[in-house]
Chains A and B, each alone.
Chain A
Amino acid sequence: MERELTPSESLKLIETMIGQAKQSFQRNSFYFMLWGVLLIAAMAVNYLMAANGDPRGSYAWGVVGIIGGIASVVHGAREGKKQLVSSFMDRVMLWLWMGFVATLLISLFGGATAGHGVPVGSIIVLTGLPTFVTGQLLRFRPLIFGGILFWVLGAVAFFVDVQATALLYIIAMVFGYLVPGYLLKRQEDGLRTA
């Protein structure tokens, strides 16, 4: 690797190496599957308990928030140790999702504290943003469609009752998080599915 390079060889080498380093090196599927399962469970518990007149179902959100938060941090720390390279794209995605979580928590606590609750439709619409952008960054269609689905179902949720909204939320989570997360895992595992 010590001989003199011609300018065109230099350019070719730069292109090849930049191409090698441009991809995301992180495995992201874990988070979609984890949060998909947890949030569907929380909505199901919340819905069933509310249907039986028990308002304590809303605690389910706090419980899954804590479980998911701890699991995400532990998993992230472990993966981070294994990672040979940290890319800009991984950093963009990290802060995109951190920003999303901050926005979500402020909306949830703000709405709950002020006493008028948070429209679930807004939460679904909001979830579409990081999902769609992640899909575009990874060039992974199931997540792009997942993000669009969040937007569409979130918009519909503004016009339907609480029961139908809960159902829309679960559908959005299954096809926006769970299924794309599973397909992404297969892709990360080296199986071409998307």
Chain B
Amino acid sequence: MAFAPLDPLLHNQLRLAIASLLVGVESADFNFLLEKTGATRGNLSVQITKLKEAGYITVKKTFKDNYPNTRCALSAKGLKAFERYVQALKEYLGPDGG
């Protein structure tokens, strides 16, 4: 039986961590993602840009108390992709698919 391929955009530790964090919230600050993923600023920035370019997340840049502030949220397309990714994972790990 052929498995659905895992979305390469989400099948990456940091990008998957970002998407998973955003699934549970409405929106999150860059610093929240930084703290929870334990990634470096540079790497997090790069992966956020990749997810944004794919249309998986929306990024709003504003100023908060005179400091630049980046706020990320999962888009509808991102949520769909995430659900598909989880479904594909289940197929890999399922009782018949192991």
Contacts and interface: CB of A to CB of B under 8 A. Distances in A.
Interface in B23-81: 23-29, 31-32, 35-37, 39, 43, 64-65
Contact of B64 (A4, A11, A81, A87): A81
B1 interface: no
A5 interface: yes
B13 A2 contact: yes
User: Chain B interface secondary structure, helix, strand, loop or mixed?
Assistant: helix
Interface residues on B, range: 20 to 34
A162 interface: no
B9 interface: no
Contacts, number: 84
A20 B23 CA distance: 11
A163 interface: no
Interface string A144-178: 00000000000000000000000000000000000
Q: How large is the interface on A (under 10, 10 to 19, 20 to 34, 35 or more residues)?
A: 20 to 34
A5 B92 contact: no
Given A1-B39, A81-B64, A85-B32, A22 B13 contact: no
Contacts of B2: none
Interface string A67-83: 00000000000000101
Given A17-B36, A21-B21, A85-B29, A3 B89 contact: no
A155 B29 CA distance: 45
A91 interface: yes
Of listed B14, B20, B28, B93, residue having the most chain A CB within 10 A? B20
A86 B26 contact: yes
A11 B25 CA distance: 18
A154 B93 CA distance: 52
Contacts of A91: 26
A10 interface: yes
A22 B25 CA distance: 7
Contacts of B17: 1, 13, 17
A33 B20 CA distance: 35
Nearest to B64: A81
6 contacts: A1-B13, A10-B85, A13-B16, A14-B20, A14-B86, A88-B26
Contacts of A21: 20-25, 28, 36
Contacts of A114: none
A137 to B, nearest CB: 14
